[in-house]
Chain A
Amino acid sequence: MWWSALSLALREIRRNLLRSTLTMLGIIIGVAAVIIMVTIGNGTTAKISAQIESLGSNMLILRPGQRFLRGSRAAAKPLEASDAEALRRELPSVAAAAGITNKAVTVVYGNNNWTTSVSGTENDYLIVRKWSLARGRLISDGEQRAGASVCLLGATVQRELFGNLDPLGETIRLGKIACEVIGLLVTKGQSAMGSDQDDAILMPLRAHWRLISGQQKVSHIYLSARDDTSKTQRDVALLMRERRHIGPSDADDFSIIDMKEIAKTMTGTTEIMTSLLGAVAAVSLIVGGIGIMNIMLVSVTERTREIGIRLAIGALEREVQRQFLVEAVVLSSVGGIAGILLALIASYFIAGALQVPLVFDSSIILLAFVFSAVVGVVFGYVPARKAARLDPIEALRHE
């Protein structure tokens, strides 16, 4: 009986193919919207996680001033290069530590100039940032100690200043200072915040002090935790309190940022956005269901005579009801399947355009399908009930 209801439903749907397709369109769009939203949302989350990962794993950033107090940063005692050295030497939980100081400088090579951030930093910086050299050589310990005027170029700076030429061994001008390019860094891409990580020049910390900033200060210390970032964070805080002579009752005058925490916050935000957009899209599924109900009601009116004949011949109420209910469910679930296919294709292209990875969540796809079938049951119920409750005599008299 279920089988014959199904074949009847399919026949009825084929008979009104255009109308059935238009009716299904509501469900198709609803299901596709839900799946596309969730797929692209998940892809964005994955992309952000990957970008934060690319900043350096187990990375902590130490900086002067309280994190959430305005102006406290400027007022606070600056960090010293010796702090970085002490962290490296005294804390086993610190794998690497590098003080850094930055300044925006216009860099010139030949006729090209480019304004970028020039960083003076220690050799551990590349370890913390998990950044490696594409070509050339690293800054030697001797060059670090002496503050030699040598530098490493990020991929963007290299492209802007040199184009297709080979920068290795060339001399560039940082303001008034001449500086030799000894190495080229590999491409790191965009950060999670959207800034270009490759738009950078690295030079020995002491060269930066001597030739560019003119002060012996570091603005941040980049740290790499050996394993557990929260333990390292505690160790670093204790040592820094001691070095900065903070009394037991006083608050820290520095802050430690854990990149893992930031990653969690950011992916958390996109996850909320994803659920929100998915929920909005789900509303359109309900609108699609109302479309099905509307068409089924029209269909019941049109087929009143047929229903009368079936009832007169001995069909039970529940058999007529089942016939129309199956028709509604077939409409909605075929629409659901079409919506899933549409979503798979559309997500592929949208993910390509937005450059996010394609992360299909099979449970969402299954849920969307089940939901579309349920929409058919819910919105098919009223028309099916109406058909089943018809009076056979009146239905037979219907023209």
Chain B
Amino acid sequence: MIELQQLSKTYGKGVAAVEALRDVNLSVHAGEFIAMMGPSGSGKSTCMNILGFLDNPSQGCYRFQDSAVETLSRNQRALLRRHFIGFVFQGFNLLARTTALENVELPLIYRRMPRAERYVRAMAAMAAVGLDGREGHTPAELSGGQQQRVAIARALVTDPALLLADEPTGNLDSARGHEIMALLARLNQERGLTIIMVTHEADIAAYASRVVQFHDGHIQNEVCN
């Protein structure tokens, strides 16, 4: 499904240049569950952004389902995001002043789903992350953990082919964290949802079938569970 070859990403120019990723090679098959670990600043989020077609690599090649992502136009990449990707951002990135339910419905609107169906699916996704009853709350009225679960519901509501989750349990207590991981593991097993997840916690990473260790923008080692 995913093939990264000699991928590098450099921010800035000259003396201020930061090499966030260098020579990353990674291949992910459909249905895999991968955890990315590594110290902060090691390039995990940068890698996720590239995987999610939000950013382009400076060098190297990213093939997604056998097409070279670098050659795609902005619109084509937006359509890939719309139809294949569910993204849980590290900073949640919910629309402020907009209810949790509307936030979860947002990707369905861009998929042009009829209102009634949209509502049913969004309610189901909210329930799946344990947020029933909070549909009408805005992000400001929710705790960090609740916001994180809204973000997860929004990523899952479209039933995507690939879930990219940047520290999805970072703001959850350990019980909640394991509930969410159980949900992801079930989706991975039952529906073949491909998951790439960044985490700092070893017990969360244990849900994955493979753990990729980042260090200084480089993949240090890969361990299969």
Contact = CB atoms under 8 A, between A and B. Distances in A.
Contact of B81 (A1, A15, A313): A313
Nearest to B55: A393
Leading 6 A-B pairs by shortest Cβ distance? A314-B82, A314-B81, A313-B107, A314-B110, A309-B93, A316-B78
A119 B78 CA distance: 89
18 contacts: A1-B112, A305-B93, A308-B93, A309-B94, A309-B95, A309-B106, A311-B78, A312-B54, A312-B87, A312-B89, A313-B87, A314-B81, A314-B107, A315-B82, A316-B78, A319-B110, A392-B54, A396-B93
A172 to B, nearest CB: 83
Contact of A316 (B75, B85, B89, B93): B75
Interface in B110-125: 110-112
A393 B82 contact: no
Contacts of B49: 393
Given A312-B93, A314-B78, A396-B91, 20 more contacts: A1-B112, A305-B96, A306-B96, A309-B93, A309-B94, A312-B54, A312-B81, A312-B89, A313-B87, A313-B107, A313-B110, A314-B83, A314-B85, A315-B82, A316-B78, A317-B74, A318-B75, A319-B110, A393-B54, A393-B55
B79 interface: yes
Contact of B89 (A311, A319, A396): A396
* A305, A312, A314, A316: most-surrounded residue (chain B CB, <10 A): A314
The main secondary structure of chain A at its interface with chain B is helix
A308 B106 CA distance: 13
Nearest to B52: A312
A315 B110 contact: yes
A372 B203 CA distance: 61
B147 to A, nearest CB: 13
Size category of the binding interface on chain A: 20 to 34
A318 B73 CA distance: 13
Nearest to A311: B78
Given A313-B110, A315-B110, A316-B75, A15 B97 contact: yes
Contacts, number: 55
Contacts of B75: 316-318
Interface in A299-325: 305-306, 308-319
Interface string B60-83: 000000000000001100110111
Contacts of B82: 313-315
B203 to A, nearest CB: 29
Given A15-B97, A393-B55, A316 B79 contact: yes
A4 B111 CA distance: 13
Interface string A380-399: 00000000000011001000
Interface in A275-320: 305-306, 308-319
B109 interface: yes
A10 to B, nearest CB: 14
A310 B106 contact: yes
B24 to A, nearest CB: 18
Contacts of B74: 317
Contacts of A15: 97
B187 to A, nearest CB: 19
Contacts of A318: 75
Given A315-B78, A317-B75, A396-B93, A4 B109 contact: yes
Interface string B25-62: 00000000000000000000000010010110000000
B79 A314 contact: yes
Interface string A161-189: 00000000000000000000000000000
Contacts of A393: 49, 54-55
Contacts of B54: 312, 392-393
Nearest to A306: B95
Contacts of B95: 306, 309
Contacts of A396: 89, 91, 93
A310 B102 CA distance: 13
Nearest to B84: A314
A396 B106 CA distance: 16
Interface in A343-399: 392-393, 396
B71 to A, nearest CB: 18
A303 to B, nearest CB: 10
